[in-house]
């Protein structure tokens, strides 16, 4: 059990720590080039290869997309209600509290806990969350959203392509699959190091009130996990799909929420402080899954 836990989490924490050190000492993660490489090449390749490699038909993928969309809708409604009752601005806090970090945290965690067979499932869920960032996230913070930007999103296009190939039962030739595998393999390590660099470089000096970020850091993973569990009672999935879904819904506040909050003058300092705090809660949940799942 200890060995299983170590094998699952030490690689993740090591790459996050390495990213934090490199983010402080070097300029490797400065600018948009590396992030653009992962977004436009790595994640789409990983998604397409994983979808085509996993034992899932178009209807199975549709069920996973459907339950993720349902979770997003209900999570947004519950969160909006709680923010209203607390007297907090819904548009400012809703995206951060709804969207989990299913990308550079959720995908590696699922891979570590459940193996390569979970990658396709994790990436499908993450792609739905990315679409929500471009709709619910930007829509709340800016008052508008761009369909054109969503349709240009690499993971979204890869998800559509994968669904088409599954529906038509078309299998790309071996060299194409090997190429996709090689391109997708760069994604998980870079995403983890980017996460460490982002956390290491957050400016937290402006955060005066610790109570609100603490509550947010507990609500995001635990609230998301609880709602996912309730949905699974009425929307059953396979054992692997259910475990991946639960883990993805229990991930911490997304770094993208911080980026969007800075861009659209939201409560960026509170969200910045919530990211590492919610990360600890999510890692605790991952530990429990590693020990008992």
What one-character DSSP code corresponds to residue 97? H
Q: Is the pLDDT of residue 186 over 90?
A: no
- Looking at residues 232-245, what average pLDDT do you find? 91
Distance of CA 24 to the CA centre of its chain: 24
Domains of the chain: total: 1
What are the start-end ranges of the E strands in 134-276?
A: none
Rounded percentage of the chain residues whose pLDDT exceeds 70: 87
Per residue in 257-268, pLDDT tens?
877 777 777 787
- Give the side-chain half-sphere CA count within 13 A for 78: 15
Q: What end-to-end distance do the CA atoms of the chain give, in Å? A: 11
Question: Is residue 17 in a domain?
Answer: yes
Question: Is residue 258 in a domain?
Answer: yes
* 8 A C-beta contact, residue 12 and residue 290: no
Q: Which two tokens stand for residue 119?
A: 């990658």
Question: Is residue 200 in a domain?
Answer: no
- Looking at residues 115-142, what average pLDDT do you find? 80
pLDDT at 245: 95
What domain range includes position 117? Answer: 2-188+210-292
- Residue 112 belongs to domain with CATH number: 1.20.1530
Question: Is residue 198 in a domain?
Answer: no
* 8 A C-beta contact, residue 179 and residue 5: no
Question: Is residue 105 in a domain?
Answer: yes
Question: Is residue 201 in a domain?
Answer: no
Question: Is residue 204 in a domain?
Answer: no
Beta bridge partners of 100: 253
Q: Is the pLDDT of residue 154 over 60?
A: yes
Distance CA 167, CA 67 (A): 19
Q: Which two tokens stand for residue 78?
A: 């519950």
What one-character DSSP code corresponds to residue 30? -
pLDDT at 210: 75
Per residue in 155-173, pLDDT tens?
778 878 887 887 788 888 9
Question: Is residue 277 in a domain?
Answer: yes
């Amino acid at each position: 059990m200890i060995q299983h836990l170590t094998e699952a989490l030490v690689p993740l924490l090591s790459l996050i720590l390495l990213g934090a050190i490199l983010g402080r000492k070097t300029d490797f993660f400065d600018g948009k080039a590396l992030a653009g490489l992962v977004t436009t090449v790595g994640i789409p390749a990983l998604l397409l290869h994983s979808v085509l490699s996993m034992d899932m038909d178009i209807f199975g993928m549709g069920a996973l997309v459907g339950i993720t969309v349902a979770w997003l809708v209900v999570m947004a409604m519950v969160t909006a209600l709680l923010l209203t009752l607390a007297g907090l601005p819904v548009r400012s806090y809703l995206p951060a509290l709804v969207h989990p970090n299913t990308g550079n945290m959720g995908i590696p965690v699922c891979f570590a806990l459940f193996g390569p067979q979970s990658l396709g499932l994790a990436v499908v869920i993450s792609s739905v969350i990315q679409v929500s960032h471009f709709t619910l996230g930007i829509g709340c913070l800016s008052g508008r959203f761009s369909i054109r930007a969503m349709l240009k999103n690499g993971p979204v296009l890869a998800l559509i392509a994968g669904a088409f190939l599954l529906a038509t039962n078309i299998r790309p030739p071996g060299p194409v699959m090997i190429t996709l595998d090689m391109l997708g393999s760069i994604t998980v390590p870079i995403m983890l190091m980017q996460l460490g660099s982002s956390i290491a470089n957050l400016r937290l000096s402006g955060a005066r009130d610790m109570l609100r970020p603490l509550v947010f850091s507990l609500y995001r993973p635990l609230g998301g996990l609880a709602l996912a569990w309730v949905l699974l009672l009425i929307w059953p999935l396979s054992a692997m799909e259910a475990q991946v879904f639960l883990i993805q819904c229990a991930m911490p506040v997304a770094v993208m929420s911080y980026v969007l909050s800075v861009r659209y003058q939201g409560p960026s300092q509170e969200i910045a402080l919530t990211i590492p705090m919610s990360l600890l809660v999510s890692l605790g949940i991952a530990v429990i899954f590693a020990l008992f799942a």
